[in-house]
Amino acid sequence: MRRLAFLALLFAAPALAANTDAGKYQAVLGDCAGCHGKTLAGGVALQMPFGTLVTPNITPDRDTGTGNWSAADFRKAMKTGVAPGGKLLYPAMPYPAYAHMPDGDVDALFAYLRTVRPVKNAVRVNRLRFPFNIRFLMRGWNLLFFHPENGAGGSRGRYLVEGPAHCGTCHTPKNLLGADKAPALSGAVLAGWYAPDLTGDRVTGLASWSKAGLVEYLKTGRNSHSIASGPMAEAVENSTALMTDGDLDAIATYIKGLPAAGGNGGGVPRGDMQVQAGVAVYRLNCSACHGADGKGSAIFPPLAGNPNVRQASAETLARVVLAGTRGAATKGAPTGQGMPSLGWKLDDAAVANVLTYIRNNWGNSAPAVEAGLVERVRAAK
């Protein structure tokens, strides 16, 4: 009997290892580390319109993590938003997207999570404002907005974007209750950043990007148009840079096929007072890196023709100018260039003026930036 048990274990070991490897790749596709941290022990604060959610510990610690969960428990949480004990999850844990995943992929992810180092880290997750902190209300939300039967189908790219990679969680606009609304992937505010339009819009979207350029951006965090920073830098480092070339090609193919969204509402005339006031601010603070012509360099991204500059909201631009940022650092582009903070030297009006100038020069066209927006971003950062 012992010999039979040993032989069974011997033959099962390669299958178990393969399933664990497959699960590790599912963790890459789902960017688990992006929300739950490098050790997956949670504690990352997510700023929501309704308050703060802190991500839970998903390591196999029995006291504070998922060590007491079964594979069925995990599958139910991932695909229905219901954790053990009937606890309803908030869609910041993107179960509406993960619901599209086959059970086998979810089970492989669970098998992988069983192999990570258990970390004892108790987290008070729900710090939302009343009444949003009442989990029971999620029953109504699910009835209204959670329809997994309408899930992703067709191409591998669509499945990845709408399923495990959950791109719409950041890039799709939300209604007042935090549910997705059309047009999908057309840009949305996220925790003080503006996740840009991914559609084929010629002004705000990716119409000017080639498929190869989009793959390059997802794999390295940069291309001739832009450098990933903020939350997208983390997504590149933790997820897309580690995906297979085939999956990156599939994602790029699907995104490049998206119809154009509605643009940004139009720009302001070159003679506008804010545009004129922004000229001097740009020359003194920005032109040394981004060029007098806004074309950037091999190190610094262009501002001319950059769709990130022309988004409907300038929230990300204001945050970058005020607080600075760091680009993604990947194997293909390890430098991780930084943008210094200018908030210490520029007041709200100066930031608004220079952004209005950048958004309406070198062929760019976008709405003016109000000093009030800059003030709100400064207060929140």
pLDDT computed for residue 324 by the predictor: 93
Residues 216 and 240 in one domain: yes
Q: Looking at the structure, do residues 146 and 18 belong to the same domain, yes or no?
A: yes
pLDDT digits (tens, 9 = 90+) for 24-82: 999 999 999 999 999 999 999 988 888 999 999 999 999 999 999 999 999 999 999 99
Q: What is the mean pLDDT of residues 5-16?
A: 48
Q: What is the residue-averaged pLDDT of the chain?
A: 91
Check whether residue 211 and residue 291 sit in a common domain. no
Do 73 and 181 have their domain in common?
no
With beta carbons less than 8 A apart as the criterion, state whether 221 and 243 touch. Answer: no
Of 226, 256, 286, which one is at a domain's C-terminal end? 256
Contact 316, 359 (CB under 8 A): no
Domain boundary among 107, 131, 150: 150
Instruction: Tell me the whole-structure pTM to 2 decimals.
Output: 0.90
**Residue 6 above 50 pLDDT?**
no
Let me know the angle formed at the C-alpha of 239 by 233 and 243, rounded to the nearest 5 degrees.
125
The reply to whether 300 falls in a domain is yes
My answer on whether 59 and 107 are in the same domain is yes
* Residue at token pair 């080639």: 210
State the CATH number of the domain containing residue 241.
1.10.760
**pLDDT for the residue numbered 300:** 87
- Tell me, yes or no, whether 203 and 279 share the same domain: no
Which of 91, 123, 150 delimits the end of a domain? 150
pLDDT of residue 380: 84
Amino acid at 120: K
DSSP E strands: which ranges in 191-264?
A: 193-195
Residue type, 146: F
Angstrom distance (rounded) from CA 47 to CA 297: 34
Of 184, 154, 149, 106, nearest in space to 250 by CA: 154
pLDDT band at 154 (very low <50, low <70, confident <90, very high): confident
Alpha-carbon gap, residue 380 to 50, rounded angstroms = 15
**CA–CA dist 174, 187 (Å, integer):** 10
Confidence of residue 18 (pLDDT cuts 50, 70, 90): low
Write the pLDDT tens digit of every residue in 283-323. Answer: 999 999 999 999 988 788 899 999 999 999 999 999 999 99
Number of domains within the chain: 3
Quote the domain boundaries for residue 341.
273-380
Query: What mean pLDDT comes out for the span 193-210?
Result: 94
pLDDT at residue 151 above 70? no
Instruction: Please say whether the beta carbons of 359 and 310 come within 8 A.
Output: yes
Q: Cα separation of 67 and 266, whole Å?
A: 53
The CATH code of the domain that includes 365 is 1.10.760.10
pLDDT reading at 149 higher than 90: no
pLDDT at 381: 65
Asked if residue 7 belongs to a domain, the reply is: no
Scan for tokens 């990845």, then name that residue.
Answer: 160
Q: Is 13 exposed, middle or buried (0-12, 13-18, 19+ CB in 10 A)?
A: exposed
φ, ψ (nearest 5 deg) of residue 83: -85, 170
Q: Are 196 and 204 in contact (CB under 8 A)?
A: yes
pLDDT computed for residue 12 by the predictor: 46
Are 143 and 187 part of one and the same domain? no
- Residue 13: pLDDT band (50, 70, 90) is very low
Query: Using one digit for the tens of pLDDT, what is the confidence trace for 227-281?
Result: 898 899 999 999 999 999 999 999 999 999 999 998 898 999 878 899 999 999 9
Instruction: Establish if 1 belongs to a structural domain.
Output: no
**Residues 236 and 251 sit within 8 Å (Cβ to Cβ):** no
> Which of 29-38, 197-206, 335-344 comes out lowest in average pLDDT?
335-344
Residues 347-366 have pLDDT tens digits of: 999 999 999 999 999 999 99
Q: Where does the chain show beta strands of DSSP type E?
A: 45-48, 51-54, 82-83, 87-88, 126-128, 188-190, 193-195, 325-326, 338-339
Residue 9 predicted with pLDDT over 60 = no
Round to whole Å and give the CA distance between 159 and 217: 20
**Cα–Cα distance measured from residue 37 to residue 27, given in angstroms and rounded to the nearest whole number:** 12
